[in-house]
Amino acid sequence: MAEHSNGIRERAQAVRGLGRLAGLAGAADSQRLARLASEACPDGRIRLSGALQCMFPDLSREDALTALRQMRKRLRGAAAAAGLDLLLEVDAAQLT
């Protein structure tokens, strides 16, 4: 049971973090982040394949990866302007 409640807490933290990011983002990126929240696993991680599909459903994988990189850059800039540290990372070991 402790493992389960810890997973819920980690997922909730991830979803709250996405909400904070949405407040820094433009309208389109805010909508993408809202959709991304539904992809969070119990441990707070989000699979890259799910993230790309929910945020950029009409793009090919390569174009979606490019769009994700561009979005991360915009979010880093907005966070820096707000005086916040932001780290959005993709685990290179997980290629799905």
* pLDDT recorded at residue 63: 97
Q: Give pLDDT tens digits for 20-52.
A: 777 878 899 989 988 888 887 877 788 889 899
Residues 6+ apart with CB under 8 A from 47: 39, 41, 94, 96
Domain ranges of the chain: 2-81
Long-range contacts of 53-62 (CB under 8 A, 24+ apart): 56/32
* pLDDT recorded at residue 93: 55
Distance CA 42, CA 51 (A): 15
pTM of the model: 0.73
| Residues composing the chain | 96
